[in-house]
Chains A and B, each alone.
Chain A
Amino acid sequence: MSQYKLIHCTINGKEVEQMIDVRASLTDLLRNDFHLTSVKKGCEVGECGACNVLIDGEAFNSCIYLAAWADGKNIRTLESLTGPNGEISDIQQAFMEETAIQCGFCTPGFIMTAVEILETKKLYTRDELRKLLSGHLCRCTGYENILNAVEKTMKRRLGIPTE
């Protein structure tokens, strides 16, 4: 069995090719080979959501997604939300303004799931948002302000007034 494989994929808008260890996770690939350290390791078995990234627009725990499977995929990490001049997206701004960040370790994963939710361009109730965000664990915030940040950004994007 060959232990190494060449894969081609798009990471944060850039086409790349990379020789990977077939045993490596996508977390390993992103952190170790591309220094995308927003991808966090909290459990490495798909329980906490800290390593969440978008693969073809869908949120995945990258720790239980093999790097080999990334071949041909479009992968986005939190780093992709920051523009070339350092400008940040509305959802990042909302996390800052709503005090949705404390230790910050779960933040990248949460924001990327929020991006997945926001890109559906649908209006969800708070309870629906809870369910959509429930793949992530946070021990600092009690989730309250995270929910507020996502809800407010969703409503702003849909042109619905927020108080």
Chain B
Amino acid sequence: MSIVGKSEIRVDAFDKATGRTKYYEDRIPGGALYVRIKHAEIAHGFVKSVDTSEAERIKGVVKVLTCFDVPEIDFPTAGHPWSMDPGHQDVADRRLLNRHVRYWGDDVAVVIAQDEVAAMQGVRAIKVEYEALPFVLDAQKAMEDGAPQLHENAPHNILKHTSIRKGNYEEAIKEPGLIKVEGWYNTPTVQHCHIENHGCYAYEENGRITVVSSTQIPHIVRRVVGQALGRPWADIEIIKPYIGGGFGNKQDALYEPLCAWCSTQVGGRLVRIDCSREETFVSNRVRHAIRFHITSWIRPDGSMAARKVDLFSNQGAYASHGHSIVAKAMGSFPQLYPCDNMECDAYTVYTNIPAAGAMRGYGMPQASFANDSNIDECAHAIGMDPVEYRDRFIMPKGFEDGFSKNVNYYDSHRECLEKGKELIDYDRKKAEFALDKGPVRRGIGCASFWYNTAVWPIALETTSNRMLLNLDGTVTMQCGETEIGQGADTAFAQMAAQAIGLKNYRDVHVISCQDTDITPTGLGAYASRQTYVAGFSIRQTAEILRKKIFEYANKLTRQSVDNMDIVDGNVVRKGDGKVLISLKELAMTAQYNQQDSEHITAESTFTIQNNAYSFGCTFAEVEVDIPMCKVTVKNIVNVHDCGTLINPALAEAQVHGGMSMAIGYGLSEQLLFDQKTGRPLNNNLLDYKLSTFMDHPDLEAAFVENPEPTSVFGTKALGEPPACSGAPAIRNAIYNATGVALRTLPMNPHNLFAAFTEAGLIRDSFEEGK
């Protein structure tokens, strides 16, 4: 009886449907002091002095601390596993509060007060004197000679530059008859917009510091807090309760270090930091705006002779995840549409905007937009249908990546394209829409994406698990991987129930809350790796638990350990299936045996040295009102090969969410900054336009289930992939409808007006048929 593969209801659904689920803010004990942050109101400069006297006089204010008070320790924030190799450690470039202000919104001081009002009044009363410096908001401008310098050890503001060289590009482009398809592709700064803002609270106990935080990565945050405060890492305990979404923003140490330090400054008292929505947009993390320049040289048959790709990634003020993101983006180019002669250069550049970190897709929504836009233009250049073009030139079955050792075991891309084509009725619609000549035209398009499941071999891939056999025959399980809304706990329960041999996934109680003092070490939620990596430690730990169960059962039943199995929560004899003893009876007997008592538990760590491709595509159908510069998505389908589905209903829901995010990325989202001051302009949910209920049609998620051979349960990445190919699919549908090759996201009326005007589609009067 398979438990994996069934659309079970989430293990946390009841609590969430009744409102009893407790997020960090719901757990804060009474009497916490409020920490509120004074954010810089210049984009670049130095704090000369801070006058705290007025703030300190406000009733209820306990303490005011400034950038002159913090430890002189630079620390990193990225949610990457620690590397023992100093060359691979994350860049340490910020302090708890910063004298060198590097963006509008940087943290320069805090007020700790007895209530929120006093804390906020205190923040307003702080007077900061700055030495303002010139600032730069654009990545390429920041690389120019004479540009304002953000960090001493990053000349021309370049945090890192890496390259790919394959074949001989310069020679290859000399081939006669090549067609050049070239363009700049621009992606904007956007934000995660999880509905729960980040927040945390901290206190000292027995000489150690506890931080309860809305984070995806408790074990990593523990290390970062230790680093930032200059304390032994074991002095820090991080507790992660349920969180209201993360999408990568909370895959960074955000305000946990500052909160922990503030507690130490008031005698270990309980302090809380709660980000407002406005702070979340600016003073947490954002997605990198990456600008691409692509030059493709194709033969008349469409085959790619040579390709050059330059990528400029706007890192913002601090390194956070830094170059990893654009490096992943760059790495997709030689793989998705393989080409023998390639030159790629990726730059990650500091600028005076908010720090960019991980966000769902980790460089791939950007790369997919640029790559699959350019690919559509290649198809157009030789008059080939864009789906057919992909079908011919996309990564073939059997493709192996030398670095990750990933193999495209199946013909995933083509299978996904074929399915998407059928589901959206591509051929018929394309022919029908071609007849549209008026001001409102329909179009259809697609885009594929490339994705990896985990981070091996770039970084450590480890997973730990603990199982306790309960007296009723159920199992309590702790995982280092975290539930952040995606449904991980449910998938883990299903996998564990199957691996142990329990009757129902409800017989596994996943302790959702991670506590670094108690929970076995795992790395948390990122890279769409959780189901894949947790599978390894779940199976291994289940095997250990089963062995211990069999050994005890042997004492009670005389049957050979090798002749036992667990089926539906009973230990059975393999030969005839006879029930030897139920797990409940076994657990009770083992626990209360006066001569030989045992609490049957198992624990193990697994190091993964594999990774897995996870592929798919989006098909979109749009209606473009040219004079109104408005795009309506009429139909959208995502097809994924994420291997075997553990829980089809949850998988579908995960895809819906990614599609919605991709639609927002394509059509409306961008965080804007005043070019004259660097001040953020729309850091709120009214002026920043994420997709609402009204902005998309019904979302269709489909799957090609090719079991991943390296994976315990045949599964691979699905968390981030759904957010990758939506925007370029919409873009290509608009291209199909209008013939206008848009190259800048978002494709909002503002950008469409410029593009349509340039293309001559918008004139004073609209002439039918032209």
Contacts and interface: CB of A to CB of B under 8 A. Distances in A.
Interface of A: 23, 36-38, 40-45, 47-48, 50, 77-79, 81-82, 88, 92-93, 95-97, 99-108, 111, 126, 130-131, 133-134, 136-145, 147
A106 B693 CA distance: 13
B21 interface: yes
A47 B657 contact: no
Interface in B146-176: none
Nearest to B648: A99
- Interface size classification for chain B: 35 or more
Contacts of B685: 42-43, 47-48, 137
B709 interface: no
B693 A140 contact: no
A89 to B, nearest CB: 9
Contact of A102 (B22, B192, B657): B657
B236 interface: no
B694 interface: yes
A141 B653 contact: yes
B19 A108 contact: yes
Given A77-B19, A99-B650, A134 B692 contact: yes
B313 interface: no
Nearest to B656: A142
B548 to A, nearest CB: 35
Contact of B693 (A77, A92, A133): A133
B17 A111 contact: yes
B25 interface: yes
B277 interface: yes
B657 A142 contact: yes
* Most B Cβ at <10 Å: residue of A36, A93, A105, A133: A105
Given A40-B244, A88-B14, A105-B195, A141 B19 contact: no
Interface in B625-679: 649-650, 652-654, 656-661
Contacts of B653: 99-100, 102, 140-141, 144-145
Nearest to A80: B19
A41 B116 CA distance: 15
B75 interface: no
Please list the 6 inter-chain residue pairs (A to B) with the smallest Cβ-Cβ separation, ordered nearest first.
A38-B19, A103-B485, A105-B244, A104-B16, A142-B660, A142-B656
A96 B9 contact: yes
A92 B20 CA distance: 13
A41 B25 contact: yes
A36 B19 CA distance: 9
B660 A143 contact: yes
B487 A102 contact: yes
B282 to A, nearest CB: 14
30 contacts: A23-B117, A37-B19, A37-B25, A38-B20, A43-B685, A88-B14, A88-B18, A95-B17, A96-B10, A99-B650, A101-B16, A102-B654, A104-B15, A105-B23, A105-B194, A106-B244, A107-B16, A108-B19, A126-B698, A137-B685, A139-B195, A139-B245, A139-B660, A139-B661, A140-B485, A142-B661, A143-B660, A144-B698, A144-B699, A145-B653
A103 B17 contact: no
Contacts of B22: 37
A104 B693 contact: no
Given A40-B244, A42-B195, A137-B690, A104 B12 contact: yes
Contacts of A48: 195, 277, 685
A99 B649 contact: yes
A79 B657 contact: no
* Most B Cβ at <10 Å: residue of A78, A82, A130, A142: A142
B195 A78 contact: no
B176 to A, nearest CB: 49
A108 B244 CA distance: 12
B84 interface: no
Nearest to A49: B195
B19 A137 contact: no
B486 interface: yes
Given A131-B694, A134-B694, A92 B18 contact: yes
B361 to A, nearest CB: 14
Contacts of B247: 139
Contacts of B192: 139
B196 A79 contact: no
Contacts of A43: 276-277, 684-685
B680 to A, nearest CB: 15
A159 B384 CA distance: 52
A137 B652 CA distance: 19
Interface string B225-245: 000000000000000001111
A37 B14 CA distance: 15
A107 to B, nearest CB: 5
A142 B244 contact: no
A96 B13 contact: yes
B289 interface: no
B178 interface: no
A40 B277 contact: no
B518 interface: no
B686 interface: yes
Contacts of B271: none
B296 interface: no
Contact of B659 (A50, A82, A142): A142
Interface string B252-278: 000000000000000000000000110
* Most B Cβ at <10 Å: residue of A36, A37, A82: A37
Contact of A78 (B18, B26, B485): B18
Contacts of B462: none
Nearest to A138: B195
Given A37-B25, A103-B242, 12 more contacts: A37-B22, A45-B684, A47-B685, A47-B686, A88-B18, A99-B7, A103-B195, A104-B15, A107-B16, A134-B692, A142-B660, A143-B656
Contacts of B245: 102-103, 105, 139-140
